[in-house]
């Protein structure tokens, strides 16, 4: 089964989508949910950076965790929020990217780091790949969380770049037309975000649709005002999201970073396919990795 991240963005989604007193009050009413999400497997996080309203970096990844299987982080996004320029930058790193697995002593696909060493190894590996830039926070979402989240907000509208018929994984036979379409529930949204084999661009096309879905969710959530909807949202993320952001971090993001969604920068790491020792990889050139490094450093104001 193919796994994916949907903007592992989930914790930040509520914060940057609406902000303001109402959302803040909702978070206060759900302290238990925030505590349920909190863990420090990837480190305690840089809480002072958020408190000072400086640009922050987040590692967003998703796994399809099952019983007796730790899963792999098959879609990875290096995300930065800059409250000074009101921009969000999302750089997608393909799961088949060949790189050093930090702490494991091997060269492998980047998505295997999570399987070998969990959040910490995944974070160290991605940080090394982008030129040793540390992440202030990480956000992990279980695949089931995506379906629950879309159900909670009553579906989303997306601008679909290509047309296809659902492969049948969810036994729904959805027809995905090109152009504006409404994803009525979580199952349809997952079908939209998961498809790879019928996309001429393969993983690149899938990652693009995932980013489209992320922004559609953010925009839909900015108009959600129903108490019932917010309760459903909190239930969805509480059961499926883990992060080293504290409740106070989330409040600070809600208050001080909510305008960053006004300008979104999307980028997919440009790589070439190579077969090495019988294994298919995607390989980024040194120039491409340097470009990514500079993009992130610039967004963080560290040039």
Q: Per-residue pLDDT tens for 196-213?
A: 888 888 878 887 887 788
Q: Is 89 within a domain?
A: yes
Query: Percent of the chain scored above 70 by pLDDT?
Result: 81
Q: Which residue has the higher pLDDT, 37 or 13?
A: 37
Give me the DSSP letters along 216-247: HHHHHHTT---HHHHHHHHHHHHHHEEES--H
Share above pLDDT 90 across residues of the chain, in percent, rounded to a whole number: 40
Decide if 43 contacts 246 (C-beta within 8 A).
Answer: no
Report whether pLDDT(64) > 90.
no
Mean pLDDT for 254-260 is 82
Is the residue at 196 inside a domain? no
Position 120 confidence tier, pLDDT thresholds 50, 70, 90: very high
Q: What is the average per-residue pLDDT within 61-82?
A: 76
Q: What band does 190 get if pLDDT is binned at 50, 70 and 90?
A: confident
Averaged pLDDT, 22-45: 72
90, part of any domain: yes
Given a cut of 80, is residue 27 above it in pLDDT? Answer: no
β-bridge pairing 75-82 and 87-93: antiparallel
Q: Which range among 24-38, 193-207, 229-243 has the greatest average pLDDT? A: 193-207
pLDDT for the residue numbered 227 = 57
Residue 234 near residue 13, CB atoms below 8 Å: no
Total domains present in the chain: 1
**pLDDT band of 20, cuts 50, 70, 90:** low
What confidence score (pLDDT) does residue 108 get? 96
The pLDDT-based confidence of 285 (bands split at 50, 70, 90) is: very high
DSSP labels for 267-292?
EE---EEEEETTEEEEE--HHHHHHH
Average pLDDT, the chain: 82
CATH code of the domain in which 239 resides: 3.30.420.590
- Decide: residue 177, CB within 10 A, 0-12 exposed, 13-18 middle, 19+ buried: exposed
Grade residue 169 by pLDDT with cuts at 50, 70 and 90.
Answer: low
Structural domain boundaries enclosing 22? 10-145+225-299
CA geometry: angle 50, 55, 58, nearest 5 deg: 80
Residue 156 within a domain: no
Quick check: 117 pLDDT over 60?
yes
The verdict on residue 192 lying in a domain is: no
pLDDT band at 127 (very low <50, low <70, confident <90, very high): very high
Is 219 inside any structural domain? no
For range 35-63, the mean pLDDT? 88
- Predicted confidence at residue 246, as pLDDT, reads 86
- Check residue 104 and give its pLDDT: 96
């Amino acid at each position: 089964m193919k796994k994916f991240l949907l903007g592992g963005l989930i914790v930040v989604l509520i914060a940057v989508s609406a902000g303001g007193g109402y959302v803040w009050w909702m978070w206060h009413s759900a302290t238990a949910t925030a505590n349920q999400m909190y863990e420090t497997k990837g480190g305690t996080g840089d809480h002072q950076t958020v408190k000072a309203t400086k640009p922050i970096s987040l590692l967003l990844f998703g796994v399809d965790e099952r019983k007796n299987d730790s899963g792999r982080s098959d879609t990875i996004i290096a995300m930065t929020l800059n409250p000074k320029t009101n921009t969000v930058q999302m750089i997608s790193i393909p799961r088949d990217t060949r790189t050093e697995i930090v702490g494991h002593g091997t060269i492998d696909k980047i998505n295997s780091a999570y399987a070998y060493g969990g959040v910490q190894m995944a974070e160290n590996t991605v940080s090394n790949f982008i030129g040793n830039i540390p992440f202030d926070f990480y956000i992990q979402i279980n695949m089931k969380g995506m379906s629950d989240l879309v159900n909670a907000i009553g579906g989303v509208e997306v601008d679909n770049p290509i047309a296809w018929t659902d492969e049948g994984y969810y036994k729904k036979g959805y027809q995905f037309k090109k152009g504006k379409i409404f994803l009525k529930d979580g199952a349809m949204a997952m079908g939209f975000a998961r498809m790879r084999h019928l996309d001429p661009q393969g993983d690149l096309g899938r990652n693009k649709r995932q980013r489209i879905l992320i922004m559609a969710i953010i925009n839909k959530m900015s108009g959600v005002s129903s108490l019932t909807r917010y309760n459903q949202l909190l239930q969805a993320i509480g059961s499926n999201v883990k992060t080293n952001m504290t409740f106070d971090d989330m409040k600070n993001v809600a208050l001080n970073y909510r305008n960053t969604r006004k300008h979104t920068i999307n980028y997919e790491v440009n790589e070439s396919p190579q077969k090495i020792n019988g294994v298919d990889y995607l390989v980024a050139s040194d120039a491409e990795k340097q470009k990514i490094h500079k993009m992130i450093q610039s967004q963080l104001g560290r040039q």
